[in-house]
A and B are shown apart, each in its own frame.
Chain A
Amino acid sequence: MKFNFFHLMPYPDYDKLPHEWPVSTHGIDSRRIQALYNEYVDEMADAENYGFDWVGCNEHHYSPYGLMANPNLIAGALARQTKKANIAIVGNLLPLLNPIRVAEEYAMIDVMSGGRLVAGFLRGIPHEYIAYNIPPSESRSRLREATELIIKAWTEDEPFGWEGEHYQFPAVSIWPKPIQKPHPRILMSASNEESAEFVAKMRAIMGITLIQDLGAARKAIEHFKNVARGYGWEPTPDDILVGQQICIADTDEEAREHMAAAQTYFHQTLMRPQRSAQQLVLQQSRYYTGSDVGENFQKRLATLRNRTVDEQIEAGSIICGSPESVVKQITRLNQELGCGLLNLTIKVGNMPGSVVRRGMELFRDRVAPHVAGL
């Protein structure tokens, strides 16, 4: 198995309960955030020496949920500070962005890192569309067109034009092209049947998060595999990435305590302001073409929020415990889901930096040696 040290880069000191999204920055000290960037980038840069194969972050806007509006900037720093880990940006929210700019920045990161980019092409969560004033109803068609345009920009040596539904570029020839040929690995979300079709078509790594039970996750993965077969290829474990929050401590009890406190902050403070904005998008747009999928998304969030740490462990939603327990939980995920990639969030909510660092040490010394060969 391979492991991604994934960082949401949260703001851990928000002392109010935010009632709306976008969240006000009144009273927030940007010097404190400078220290956080240093702390987080150091953790990410060190991760390759702690048994992690990939390191990465993603994109969010307008809230303390994550401080990386542009994860490519973080990736630029990591390209110089790491030597061997893949840099996994999971990912740029393509429908919100200029796809040519994404193609250029991703190509730069791949070249600067010597060919270590894993390129996440994501649709994003619903309310992000308000941030950049993009119609949520166009999210899927924009994702499809942008994905194909970026691949074309990476792989066509001669200048070309693009005349599409959402994008028109009369002349394209990005410099440089990526080192990886024909292009960097692509990672996309395939948490539901709607998205699995396109991910399979693009032969991308399938990402799945917010697992509420292993049976449902297994079903989604099997669906993806079946669709992929229809496109003439057979996904391997290296094509299946599962996202999980993780806490590793010296004992099970200690890990549960840390996870419970961090998740309280995560759900009550970081996730709180997004709910009403997400509801607005789901109610007033065709972000999901099937209403059942939208409801399913909301239900999954609510289900996870209302579970205890023990219930989440049992359901396969999170990984939490002593190194020995964590080895068992990872082995179970590998066996039950057939996933070869785990996207692990160690900095959950306001998890203290010392707990994150201790978790990294335990992962290196007592977890990775037992699960890397799975």
Chain B
Amino acid sequence: MTFEIKTAELSGGKLAYHVGGAGTPVLYLHAAGGVMLTEPLKALTRNHTVYAPICPGFDGTEGNEGLKTVRDWVAMVAEFAQKLVGERFDVIGSSFGSWTALWLAAENPKMVDHLILGVPAGFRFGGKGGLPADPEARFKALYAYPQKITSTPKTPEVMANNGKTYERLANNVQVDEALSARLPSIEAVTLILLGTEDKVVPAEAGAHLKRHIPTSQRAFIFDAAHSIEVDQPERTLRLWTAFLKRGPGYVLNQGQEAA
């Protein structure tokens, strides 16, 4: 199943988005590197209609001066979702996208059903983690297996603008204390995914989220750096699909019954 790019007209401006597949809707929120159409994301379209909005300023889209913070972006996503995705749907976030997804779930508790937080940004306790400034070190931090990248490479200009837009929205926040205070109010059943080789998101972030989100589970994906979808696509997809299908019950091995 392939994705196509469309544009939505929202109260705060235009919003480009990828959409593909058929089935129950999943909203995918991208990382600071923009949308990567990874193998798990493409596979997800077999059973779901996947919507992946592109934050204005990312991936060559026109910037939006009205977006100054993560919460501004979240408000735009919420409006997009209400208009195009539905009243209630599942959400998958990746890094910065998980930060976005958490705010979305906190501010719209009835909107988010299953919430999957891939390598969630926004909780760098003690300043740990983060992306190195040096491009080579940054690339190594993102990928344990760069040879597994299958999506189209982005130009240096696009990457630079992605970085600038992200920095403006993140505003150098190490720990989003306001969001942290809202975690206990999140109603969505939540799965937190972390890579065992991830040096960008500190392990404490996952533990903090697990401790404070009421109905949450946490899983480590073995032998994956920050880009879990690229480094371990099968493992990532297996967890995504199991959790989206069965929620917290995904921990139960159903053996031959599942076949």
Contact B252 A286 (CB under 8 A): no
Could you show 10 A-B contacts with beta carbons less than 8 Å apart? A129-B253, A130-B251, A135-B255, A135-B256, A136-B253, A137-B255, A137-B257, A138-B256, A284-B254, A285-B254
A285 to B255, CA, bound (A): 9
Contact A135 B211 (CB under 8 A): no
Query: Does B126 lie at the interface of the complex (its beta carbon under 8 Å from any beta carbon of A)?
Result: no
Contact A135 B248 (CB under 8 A): no
**Cβ–Cβ < 8 Å partners of B211 in chain A:** 24, 26
**Cβ–Cβ < 8 Å partners of B246 in chain A:** 284
**Cβ–Cβ < 8 Å partners of A26 in chain B:** 211
1/0 per position for B240-259, CB-CB distance to A under 8 A?
00000010110111111100
**Cβ–Cβ < 8 Å partners of B248 in chain A:** 280
Query: Does A38 lie at the interface of the complex (its beta carbon under 8 Å from any beta carbon of B)?
Result: no
Give the total number of A-B pairs whose CB atoms are below 8 A apart: 37
Contact B254 A135 (CB under 8 A): yes
Contact B251 A285 (CB under 8 A): no
Report the minimal beta-carbon distance from B128 to chain A, rounded to whole angstroms: 19
**Cβ–Cβ < 8 Å partners of B256 in chain A:** 135, 137-138
A130 to B253, CA, bound (A): 7
Query: Does A281 lie at the interface of the complex (its beta carbon under 8 Å from any beta carbon of B)?
Result: yes
**Cβ–Cβ < 8 Å partners of A137 in chain B:** 254-257
Contact A286 B257 (CB under 8 A): yes
- With A24-B211, A26-B211 known as contacts, the answer to whether A129 contacts B252 (CB < 8 A) is yes
B214 and chain A: residue at smallest CB distance: A19
**Cβ–Cβ < 8 Å partners of A24 in chain B:** 210-211
**Cβ–Cβ < 8 Å partners of A286 in chain B:** 257
Query: Does A134 lie at the interface of the complex (its beta carbon under 8 Å from any beta carbon of B)?
Result: yes
Report the minimal beta-carbon distance from B240 to chain A, rounded to whole angstroms: 18
Most buried by A among B210, B214, B254, B256: B254
Q: Which residues of B in the span 190-241 have a Cβ within 8 Å of any Cβ on A?
A: 210-211, 214
Contact B252 A281 (CB under 8 A): yes
**Cβ–Cβ < 8 Å partners of B254 in chain A:** 135, 137, 284-285
Please list the residues of chain B having a beta carbon within 8 angstroms of any beta carbon in chain A: 210-211, 214, 246, 248-249, 251-257
A130 to B249, CA, bound (A): 10
A136 to B257, CA, bound (A): 10
Query: Does A306 lie at the interface of the complex (its beta carbon under 8 Å from any beta carbon of B)?
Result: no
Q: Which residues of A in the span 117-150 have a Cβ within 8 Å of any Cβ on B?
A: 129-130, 133-138
Report the minimal beta-carbon distance from A135 to chain B, rounded to whole angstroms: 3
Report the minimal beta-carbon distance from A214 to chain B, rounded to whole angstroms: 35
Most buried by B among A130, A135, A286: A135
Contact A130 B252 (CB under 8 A): yes
A135 to B255, CA, bound (A): 5
Contact B253 A135 (CB under 8 A): yes
**5 closest residue pairs by CB, A with B:** A135-B255, A135-B253, A133-B253, A130-B251, A284-B249
A281 to B211, CA, bound (A): 23
Report the minimal beta-carbon distance from B1 to chain A, rounded to whole angstroms: 29
**Cβ–Cβ < 8 Å partners of A284 in chain B:** 246, 249, 252, 254
A130 to B255, CA, bound (A): 12
Most buried by A among B246, B251, B252: B252
Report the minimal beta-carbon distance from A133 to chain B, rounded to whole angstroms: 5
Q: Which residues of A in the span 252-300 have a Cβ within 8 Å of any Cβ on B?
A: 280-281, 284-286
User: Knowing that A130-B253, A138-B255 are A-B contacts, what are 8 other residue pairs whose CB atoms are under 8 Å apart, sorted by A's residue number?
Assistant: A129-B253, A133-B253, A135-B253, A135-B256, A280-B252, A284-B249, A284-B252, A285-B252
Report the minimal beta-carbon distance from A6 to chain B, rounded to whole angstroms: 29
Contact A134 B252 (CB under 8 A): no
Report the minimal beta-carbon distance from A137 to chain B, rounded to whole angstroms: 6
A131 and chain B: residue at smallest CB distance: B251
**Cβ–Cβ < 8 Å partners of B214 in chain A:** 19
A286 to B258, CA, bound (A): 12
| Interface residue from A129, A135, A280 paired with B257 (Cβ < 8 Å) | A135
Report the minimal beta-carbon distance from B220 to chain A, rounded to whole angstroms: 14
**Cβ–Cβ < 8 Å partners of B257 in chain A:** 135, 137, 285-286
Report the minimal beta-carbon distance from B105 to chain A, rounded to whole angstroms: 19
Report the minimal beta-carbon distance from A216 to chain B, rounded to whole angstroms: 29
A101 to B210, CA, bound (A): 34
A281 to B254, CA, bound (A): 10
Contact A280 B253 (CB under 8 A): no
Contact B255 A280 (CB under 8 A): no
Q: Which residues of A in the span 169-225 have a Cβ within 8 Å of any Cβ on B?
A: none
Q: Which residues of A in the span 19-43 have a Cβ within 8 Å of any Cβ on B?
A: 19, 24, 26
**Cβ–Cβ < 8 Å partners of B249 in chain A:** 280, 284
**Cβ–Cβ < 8 Å partners of A129 in chain B:** 252-253
A277 to B256, CA, bound (A): 21
A134 to B256, CA, bound (A): 11
Report the minimal beta-carbon distance from A16 to chain B, rounded to whole angstroms: 12
A281 to B250, CA, bound (A): 11
Report the minimal beta-carbon distance from B134 to chain A, rounded to whole angstroms: 36
B255 and chain A: residue at smallest CB distance: A135
A130 and chain B: residue at smallest CB distance: B251
Report the minimal beta-carbon distance from B185 to chain A, rounded to whole angstroms: 15
A286 to B251, CA, bound (A): 15
Report the minimal beta-carbon distance from A140 to chain B, rounded to whole angstroms: 12
Report the minimal beta-carbon distance from B25 to chain A, rounded to whole angstroms: 24
A241 to B256, CA, bound (A): 35
A277 and chain B: residue at smallest CB distance: B251
A137 to B214, CA, bound (A): 29
Report the minimal beta-carbon distance from B232 to chain A, rounded to whole angstroms: 18
A127 to B246, CA, bound (A): 16
Most buried by B among A26, A137, A286: A137
Report the minimal beta-carbon distance from B51 to chain A, rounded to whole angstroms: 29
